[in-house]
Structure 1
Amino acid sequence: MDSCCQTSTEKPRTPTQCPVCHHKGKIIQLITLKSLLQPAALETIHPESNYAFCTNSSCEVVYFSDIQTFGKDILKVSVFQKNDALDVPVCYCFGWTRERLIQAVQENQHPLDHIREQIQANRCGCEVNNPQGACCLGNVTTFIRSLDKS
């Protein structure tokens, strides 16, 4: 017989699709939300829930779980995937904005080499700096390649 006070050890499932735009989300760690949500939003998270990151650039939702969503307006930073301004970071750990990357490429510098060196030196903190909760190298590479095509 089960006790009425017994808590379940099962974690809630992680939703796979954003409840607003229905794009597939990317699972993130709770530490990412704790690091990047503004205080008022932080007070509303459900630590027992699993959260995902919505990558759809046209969707206002950044994080979602099976019971709540967080929009881009309640984060401490602008989200690369959701804001195409030049001053928005592409690499959050080392301050590489779109504008800085454009300038570096025009001056024949190699920002990818710089970022890789920092990663190899174990200096990045993507899980707490980057809203997507993962390494930015893919975003940086894609952005630099897009400059070559323009």
Structure 2
Amino acid sequence: MDCCTPANNAVTTKSECPSCGEKGKNVQLITLKSLLKASALEAIKPENSYVFCSNPVCSIVYFSGNGSQTFVENDLKVPVFPKKQGADVPVCYCFDWTRERLLQAVEADQKPADQIKAHVQAGRCGCEVNNPQGACCLGNVNSLVRDLKEG
């Protein structure tokens, strides 16, 4: 079972970010192990549960469920959607769909979400190790494509 299988996304425990107070979403330890730089990885406490903060103005990306440990954007190997606003920031980390590439696809009247969905259905995604949110990116892709079409 992978991150894009609905059963894996069904129920999540939520905690509040110690910096901004926004509710976060639990992520698997494998996500942090895959994406943290070595210096941050050395500080990880595997017995802790970790939560992703999606607030774009908050510098914290991950925090432990008990609030004793935090990791910020500079602790990660990749830019974090939705925290980084650049055109080159991935929205779909597995198949390299950046904001810019999505914009180009929308302008060319292509359907990037359908292409990504086909890869997901073929069992090719690895969002739990590629996406800092530790979850399927299709929601982010669909939301951004909708915004681009409306804008």
In the aligned structure 2, how far is the partner of 1:79 from the partner of 1:119? 21
Q: Which amino acid aligns with 2:138?
A: L
Contact 1:15 1:51 in 2 (8 A): no
TM-score, normalising length: structure 1:
0.89
Larger Rg: 1
TM-score, normalising length: structure 2:
0.89
Contact 2:106 2:149 in 1 (8 A): no
Give the C-alpha shift of residue 149 in structure 1: 1.3
Equivalences for residues 1-150 of structure 1 within 5 A:
16-65=15-64, 66=66, 67-150=68-151
Would you say how many aligned residue pairs link Structure 1 and Structure 2? 137
In the aligned structure 2, how far is the partner of 1:121 from the partner of 1:129? 17
In the aligned structure 2, how far is the partner of 1:110 from the partner of 1:51? 34
| Unaligned 5+ runs, structure 1 | 1-13
| Unaligned 5+ runs, structure 2 | 1-12
CA-based RMSD of the aligned residues comes to 1.0
Cα deviations by residue, 1:73-103 (Å, 9 ceiling, x for unpaired): 1100000110010000000000000000000
Identity %: 61
Q: Which amino acid aligns with 1:45?
A: I
